[in-house]
Structures are given as structure tokens and as C-alpha cells.
Structure 1
Amino acid sequence: MKTRTVELLQRISASEYPIKAEVLAADFNVSQRTIRTEILEANEWLTSKELPEILTIRSKGFLLKMTSEEEKVLEAALLNLNGDLLNRNERTFDIVLSIAYEKNPVYLNRKEEEFQISKSTMDEDMRRLRADLLKYGIEIVSYGKQGLSYKGPERSIRTMIYDLINQNLGMIDFSRSKDSSVTPAQKVFNKYFNIQEIQKLAEIYSGEHPRQENDIYKNQILLFTLIWIQRVKKHELISAVSWKNAEFEDDVFSDFIDKIIKGYQLEDVPQVERNYIRFTIETFNTRDISNTLEWVQAQLLTIQLIQFVENETHIPFNSKEEMLCENLYKHIAALIVRIKNDIQVFNPLKDNIKANYHPIYRAVMQFIPTLEEVVGGKVIEDEIAFLVIHFSTVASAINRDLTYIYKSVVVCNHGIATGNLLAENLKEKFPQIKVVAVLSSKEVKLVDKLDVDLVFTTFNVAYQNKPVLVIDPILTDANIPIVGEFLKKNNEFQRLEPHGNESTELFANILTIIEESGGRVNRNIYSKLEAIFERNSLEINKREIQPMLKDILTDNHIMIKKNASTWQDAIELVAKPLVKDDIIEKQYVDAMVRAVEEFGPYIVIGKHLALAHARPEDGAKKLGLSVATIEHPINFGNPDMDPVKIIFCLAAVDSYSHLNLMKELIALINDESKLNQLINCTNMTQFKQLLFSEAEE
């Protein structure tokens, strides 16, 4: 049987529905007559294997009906057919790797013989492959005796190879032994990547990074490094580095790269190639507040994402906010770097995550356009699935401790007393129902003003905004299964209800005692206390522990209607009180100015609002905040947000203590009226009242 006939049989056997001849003809780029001829050939082969034939269903197309046992027999027979013939995806995968890594010239006619396919099939393979490579800006060209070659930026070629390996293999298991059973795609991969070299690479990495916890990130780092090694061996080199942040404060991977160069005998590796591989594998490394200048942007996005997902799913993530915020922030900080440099991580669990955590996945998906707008690039589904993992992990922890509830309202036309009785009966029979209010028939219009999800009523109401169940005013045995079915039908409206805040108050009191005794609550002390509370099943609401603007922003750190002639002057102006009070060192101010000069106006985070900051190790001694309104607005170089009329200066020493401050700044950015009032304010007392006031409901 020809390769195309095998692929045709595989295509039809994989479909649960009939496929028309014209559809198959278009897919295989042949005539309908050819399709019918090959169906006959496939049926002869199926009959020889004592398997059912492909049916021709009038006006619908071709269909192959088999039992599960027959499907297994077919799968095994196809695998053994003609020495494991490759399908189209596997053939093009082989071509991609052969052009990239084959020592001898690659010719299409020789590939035809190797694959046992016709010239027309090879032409169709190449047509599709060339179309796929265009999105990377890569062409396949032929140079006569030199064979096929890639035409395009070397960096794009490596990214393309990385993507296609992930697409064809799912994810490489670098711990797989040589004798393990492999798929055809893995056999293709093994032709060009020696299994011993793969294992040697894994050993070098484990020796340098024995505590690597994330196998997905680890395998992606190893895969990209493997691609790099092979391209450098072929002397296919990058000529220049175009990204700004090729220099790193942390030296996490330098020793790893040096051992790779020595272990694989890579001679005279240019510095640009060292920078490239170091930068590339750094993008897979989760980034803490101390090793990225984009930490404010990452934390703002993290806080906004958590608030959005919490509102959409009604899961109280705030009850475990510290764990979620820090892990999610580190991921987003690394994600920002990846997006800006066209490198994103493959996630083999994507489909399972999407199916099993769909409400969270859907909520994260709805927020992604906001993230993409801020970062300036597309986020792939694999990366979205990683974000969902952080939420679902915390949701599982919350789920162990909290109770599912349905926030509901009772509307009764028999009087409030009867309504109250129905509410109590509902709560008695269904503890998960939490009745927020009991309304009379005249008060139906108030339902939309209540934070409820379900409506129980004793009469037919003209209301459609929320699920409604009409039941008898006296809950009977006949009503109970009806209510149960109603709750089951609307289970997406379940909420998780947090317990009381006694544990939070106890935690806060302990922190206060430590500080009043002359101690300093650092990250280590905080984490140890948090661990003790968790071991004793005591929940903490982090929102109530971290300081608010009114707690941290003192009068001497507020400057109103001050003059500054340049953006550099504005930064120095707003930082001056923090330097004076020994909250930051002078070098922190210099670092803020230097970062804007190098990376642009990234500190302009809202319309007319800038948040000056640097990294903690640049000279931040303790948590602090200052603010200045500018008499004559200043352009920082951000056309969408300029001119800056109000500037804050933030000094942060860890990843958590300033989160409430960030949330209040986000609220301020979103409240244009309040922001304009602050900008125009000339009185200190009025300024504080405005800034510290709660946002209107």
C-alpha cells in the first residue's frame, strides 16, 4: 500500500463521522477519482487483515466502523506496514531536522526514496512545509550540489526547530533510557540527536542545578541547549545580539554553559553565542523581585489578574494570597521576558488543564488581552495553562478548608414572615444555601442590587437576570429534590466561603509584638510564622496584614505642586524624602534614573502617573513610599500616558509587604476622576483625604 493510501486510511479511521470525497481530495491535493481508487485498495488490504471495510454512505462520504478491539488490530497492522512508513507530519519533521543537522547535503529525490513516496506526494509535503515556515520568516532554498538550506535569521531557525520538536514529540523526556519504546517521531528525532549526548546534557544540568523543581522548565532548557549545541557544531552562528537585556545580574547559568562548551568540545564559541544561550535559558527561569527591572509591571499585572479571576470565579484567592501572588508574580516576570523575545514555553498538560479547570482557564483567558496590551506580544495557550496551574493549585488548597455556598435571595408574595420561614427551611435542608435577603413581591427590582447568584420565589416573577426557581412557600418533601436539581444545574454559581478572621488578627498581633520589641519582621520571620499557622490549620488573610497607603505615606513624604524641569529632576524630587529618612540610599535614585535611560519610560504605569522604582539591592533599606504632584507636567517619553503630573517613588525590600500599596495604586489608575482631583489639589489635608478615601462602590 502506498504512503498516501496509508494516510488516507488513518484519516478515515480516526473520524467518527463520514468524510466526503471532495474534502479528502482537497486535503491530499489529488482528484476525487484518485481518492476512490485508493479507498478500493485500502479495502482490499483491510479484508486481508479480516477487518471491516470502509463504507461509502450516499451523500455523506466514507466511514470506517470498528470495535475497540478491531481498532487495536488496525493500529498494530499499520505500524508494521512497509517498515513503519512515516506520515506527512513525520516526514516534514524529518526534513526540518535533516536540513538543520544532516552532515551531508539534503536532496528531495533521495528523501523520496527514503520515505517510499511519489514525487507528487513529496511536492505536496514541501508546499505545506514552506507555508508553515513562512510564519517564522524562513524559506527553504536549494543550492545545487550543496542541497537544501534555510534562508532566514539564525535565531528564527532555532526557534522554529524548538517549536516543531515540541509539536511532534509533545515533550522530550531527557531521562528516557536508550531501550525504551519510541514513536516514529521520536525515531526521527533520534536520527539527528544522539541519545548519549542527551543524557550527558541532562547530567551536566543536574550537577549544576540539583534543586530544579519544575521538570517542564528543565526539559525546555535542555531542549533549547541541545538545539544550540548542534547548530554551533555546524558553525551556523548568530551574527549579533539585538536585545537590550543580554547582561544579567545573576550568574546562574554561566558555569553550566562553560561545562557544556567543554563537555561537547565546542571550540572558539563567540561571545555573542554565549550571550544568546545564556539569555535564552534565562527566559525559562522564574524571576524574583531581585533579578528583573520589570518587577513592578509584573506585580501590577499579577494583582490585576488575581482580582479579575477572583471576581469571575468567586473563589476567595485572597485567603491564600501570599502563596498565589508570589508564585504567579515570578512566572509572569519570566513570561514578560519570553514574550518580548519570541520564546514561549511548551506545556504538555495544556489540554488536561483546560478540561479540568475550565472556569479558571476561561477567566484567565478573558484577562489575557490586557496582559498582551501591556507587554506588547501574544500569549500562547501553553503559557496560559501555566498561569492556570498556579490558580488551580491554590484553589485546591482553599477547597480543603472552605465550604461551597450559593448566595441566594428569597422573594415571597405571602409576607416577610412566610419568606423568612422558607429561607430557614432552605438553609436547614441545604446548608450550602446562604440566604442574603428576604424580599416582598414589590421589591423584586432590588435583586440586581444584591450580591447574589440564585433567586428562590413563591410566585412567577418577570425576572431573567439570574437563575430563578419557583417553589411552594412551605418546603415539602416534594420540593426538596426539585431544589437539589436546581442547585446541581447551576453549580457554576457556587462560591467558596472563607472562615472568620480570628487567625488573621492573631497573626497581625504577633507581628506587632515583634516590631514593638525592637525586632524587624523580615521575610524569614514572616515565612516561619506563616508555616506555623498553616500547620495548625489557621488561615491568614494577607490583605489585612500588609500596610495601606495611609499607614506608610506620612506628611513629610507628600509634596504638592512642586517644580521639576526634566524627568530626571522629577525622580530625584520625589525620592528626596526617602533618602532623607534613610529609607533608600542615594544609589537607589541613581539606579532609577539609569534604568529609564536604558530601558525607556517603563515607570509610567498610568495616564499622567509614574511609579519610580529600582530593585531592592540597588539601595532600598525598608518599605517606603513618597509622592509629588508636578506644577508643570513633564514628558517621560510615553506618548500614550504623558505628560506625567503625579509621581510616586516606591522602595520595596521583598515580594509581599508592599502588595496592598500596589492594589491601591491600581485602583487610583482606574479612577480617572480621583486622579485628576489629586493632581489639581493644592491642600495637604484635602490631598490625604482624597488619596486615603475608599473607592466608591
Structure 2
Amino acid sequence: MMDERSRKLMKRLIERSVHEVDELAVQNSLTKRQLEYSLEKINGYSVFDSNAKLVIENNRIILTNQLREQFMTILSDKTYRKGYSMNAFERSKYLYLLMFYFSDEYLSINYFIDELGVGKTTVMNDLKNLTIELEIENIQLVYTRKDGYQLSGNEEQIRYHLMKMIIWDSTENNTAFIYDQFIEKHQVETIDSMKDLVEKYTVKYGISFVENRLSEFIYTFIFLKKRLFNQSVSFCDKYQLSALIAMKEYQFSKSLLAHFCIEDQSACMYLCAWILGLSIGRPDDSTKDYETIIELVKRIIQRFEAISGIRFNNQELVVRQLYTHFRPAYYRLYFKLPIVNPLHNKIKDEYSELFNIVEETLKPIASLFEHPIPEDEIAFLTMHFASLCSNFDEYTTTQKVALIVCPNGIGSSSIVYTELKTLFPELSFLGPVETKEIERLSDSYDLIFSTVPNIRLFYTKKPVYIVSPIMNTREKYRLISDVYAQIGNFNFKLPSVDKIMEIIQKHAAVNGGSALEKELYEYLINQEEPVEKNGEGPGLQEITAPELIQLNIEAKNWEEAIRLSAAPLLKYGRITRNYIDTIVDTAKKEGPYMVISKNVALPHARPIDGVKRLGISISVLKEPLVFGSKENDPVKYIFCLAATENNRHLNAMVELVKLLDDPQFYYLMDNANDSHELYRYLFQQDILIARN
């Protein structure tokens, strides 16, 4: 019988022609013995040709084209579902779907036994586990003789749990398998007919969905629409009905519900709010909320620039890109809709400095929603800023063309695009595009990079590489090896980091082996980039020096204060005079953009305006001065930043933000006898941060 482990392993095997056994086991959270057992089961499914089997040789598995086509046929053929054996997690989700969808029917333990095809003890254990899981979200699983098993609790929370299940499965697990099972078995609706209906109304009302968000909406709506008949919620009472009615999302919701004879106004408002949190914000649409949201976007960008020390070249482009994401984010936060970002932890790990800066940037915005902004949402915005902060030279090439397929939205798409251009500068890239575009562009590309292992990609007969939107150094390393081995550069071979580590450990004791391994990967991927401690950029004390610190200086006005604060950077060859002039001219045009918090200014311009070398000066005014910031004047502490193109200063900015919450730091700036005393404090804080 087919099970989840075999199904997922088969999908993973399709992704590459050669797999290292140990790596494959780790990717699938299996022991080597479990992996071998699963491979034996998969071989049992490959009934088309008894000679085509998976074999482990030299600790590797080689997938032939014949086997790949067999696996694709098996996974595409729905008949294997009839003998499918669910695991405990899948049964738990299936039980929730039964109680969610058949809320008006009597569900008994015997019904569950027949539905799942397992024994009473198994079902009772599954119900017990589901009860514990739901209690965390204040949902109760109750049983009475009169009504059978039912879900009890806040209706919004019950719906929220369903949405979260579907979003998580479609994004993290890249599967809708359990939901397809349910829909097919109970003949609830066909996905294709619902998709046709939804797309008809999206065209009519000018609403856009990212590919995966559209799929999530369709699955959720199929299960939800039955409850909309008889389970009302007092949703969005604080939002004026007249404001919602004027929106195209409300008209979309009204038309879609009317198709199913649902005319309840609360259902329409609920669906409208949900659509607002899912659909793409289009900056060219003249919606009633445009001015409000675009103003918030500009405030976010301005604050990000002030805190990060990055000045974007094309402000209009940055505003437009961020608007597309922030409009739905605004409504997710406003209506407290499900926010699920499976890449959350990976983004925090790979973009730790940027994540901290974005988190700090959003703090004033959080007050609008009366609750902190969830880290999942911060991680989404971090992806956007990571792509916006990347600088790449565009050029034309006659070499191989790579198509990027990404159904997850502009944040993931931008990250993948910029990462791949860095790793493979000799390739020309098309996209990113959604999955449906691959056939139309079939003659335009030589290979495919995709964030989702959709089986349709492999039918193109082109080399396909599955990549994570956020790649760590090990994943980048493996991808480079795979691509160069397949596209013709057969003489190219990256050294084995595992082998290097093995040699080092033979001859020396290694402390912090994982950190050494990461630095080796980073060095071999991009040898011209210096490897910083912990793979991060330099700390604050590394980009300043005692000679860049000035205490108790006198200035007549804000302009003189900025010029005096930048003077040490000019004197020691880190900036040009034009850089200082640009900061002053920008402040005259845009106002005090550099005043980032109470009494603190961070003057900076773009690297192209005259940065020679990364650095920051610290200046303490004898008397505070008015810079023109209503909230944060007067300014006494000035940190003049000279940032280089590759954004290596972001780690230092994170440290600075933390220091600006440290009363001892301000006391020292006001009372230190000389610059060396303040510099020593920065050095001590850098050590403490590294330890933590």
C-alpha cells in the first residue's frame, strides 16, 4: 500500500538524477534503515518494468529517465489513492475535515472507523491527539449521544484552523493530497469546476492571485461554503460596511456566494476580508484604500532606509513592489487572518541582520493593529527587502537560458531571481513565471529552476532544478555542482566540504565544526568575498575606530553638524566630499530622513555618491540641535554611515539598533573622557552579542 513516506520520497527522488543516501535520509527525516525500507516499497510500485529498480551503489542512488517517468505516471494516476494508507497526522487532518464539513450530520466512532479503514483503538487515539492539538487554539472536540462528534468553539477560530492546515500543506509540504482524497471520495466538488468559476469572477472584477494563493483559496472555499449557509460570524464589526461595499473584493465575494445561493451579508463581509488578505495589491488600481496604504508603504521604506543605512536608487519601483505585498498584509493584520510562512525560521537564519532591521522598521506600524506584527509576516517583508537590497549588473548573453518558475509570489520570486543570478552569472534568466507559462515558453529556455517540484515541469524534458526560495550555503553549493555537471561544464567540480572536514579533523581538534563547515561552503561558493565571523557582516566596532569618534563637538545648525560628523570619514579616505554634499542636499529636499529615533541621526547616502570604504563615525554634540523632526528632535548623537554596495554593514546596523536601547551607551557618550573609552565599550558589546 502507498503511504505518505513513500509518496514524499518518490517526489523527492524525481527532483534530481543523483542522490547521496545520507543527504536524502536527512531531507526526509529518516534513518538509513527506514530509507532502505521505503526504497524497497517504492520498487514494489514500479510494476511497469521489473528490471527498472532503485539501487544504492557507493552510497548513492541514481534515478534513470525510465524510473523518473514511471514515478511521474504513478503520482499522476489517481488510482493508487484507493489503497492509500494514511499515517496518524493525515488521519488527524481527515477527521477535522469530516467534522468541519459535515457539521450538520451525526458522526459516530463507527462512522470514523469505516471512513478511515482502521480499528477502533487507532481512531480513539487519533481523536485524543486531535483534541490536544485543537485545545491550543481554543477549539473543543465534543461528543454527545444526541449529536455525535462535533467541533465547538469560536467559529472564526474553527475556520482559521482549516485555513492554516491548507496553507501549511500547500506551501511547506507542497501537497493537497488529503484534501483531494476527501473531495473525490465525497464528491463534494471538482477542483477544476471551482477554479473555472473563481477565475471567471477574478477577470470580471480585476482581482489577481498568486498561483499558490489561488489554489489555497479554492480548496478552502470548497470546504467552507457549506458552513457559510448555517454558521454565521460577527466578523469585522469595527469595519464600516459602506467602506467594504465600495471595494471590488466585496463585489467579487457577493457574486461568488450568489452562485451558490448564499446571500448572508456577514458571509459576504467575511469572504471579502479574506480576499483582501489573499489577493495581490495592484498599485495601478484606483481603490479607496490606495492613499492610506501607499502612505504606509512610503513610511515603511523611509524608516527602513533610515535604520539600515541603505538608500534605494529607484524609489518608484521600490514603492510599487512593496505595495503589491503590503496591501494584502495590511488586511491580514487588520482582520487577524491566518499568516503562515513555512520559510520563517530559514529567513531568520539566512537573513538574520535584515530580519532584525525589518522588525525594528515595523514597530511604529504595529500600533495601528493593536497587536505585535507576527514574525511570519515580518519574514515575508524581509524577503522583499532582501531582493530590493541586491544590486546586479544586467547584461546580454548568448549562453544558456534558464526559466525560473515560482508560484509563491513576488517575494519568493525576487529572492530566487537575485540568488540565481549571483550563483550563475553566465546564464540568462527568464521569469519568474507561474507554472502555467512553461508550455507557452517551451522553445525559449534550456533549463528550469523552480521553487515547487510540480510534476508538469519534468514533462518538459528539460533539466529541472528544485530550489528553496531561501538557500543556505550547503544548498547553494549542491546546486552549483548539479547545474555545472549537467549543462556541459563537465570539468568543473567543487571540492567536497565533507572530505575537507574529514582531513582537518584527522590532524587537528575542531571547535565549532558546523561554523567551520559553513565558512568553507561560503568560501568555495564565492571566493572573492571575505568570510566574516559566523558568516555575517562586520560588527559595529569593526567598521569604526577611535579616530572616527568625536565627543563634545560644537555646531551652529543641523547642516554644520552633519558636515562635522562626516569629516573623520573624509579625512581617513572612507568617503569623498561629494558624499557629504549629497547627504545635505537630500535632507534639504526630503526633510530630516536621517533622524531615526529620539535624539539620534544616521546621515547616509548611496554608495555611488562617494563611498570608498565601509565605515561609520560617531559624533556627540555639546548642545542638541533641531533637525526638523517633530517626533525625535533635538538631535545630540550622530552616526554618519558610509555603506558599500554589498550591504555588508547590516550586521553593524543591527548592533547599533540594540545599543540605542542601552542607557549605559548614552551615559558613556555623554561622559566618556576620550574616544578610546567609548570604542572599548563597543568592543565589549560586540563580544557579548557574539556569545549570545
Larger radius of gyration: 1
TM-score by length of 1: 0.46
TM-score by length of 2: 0.46
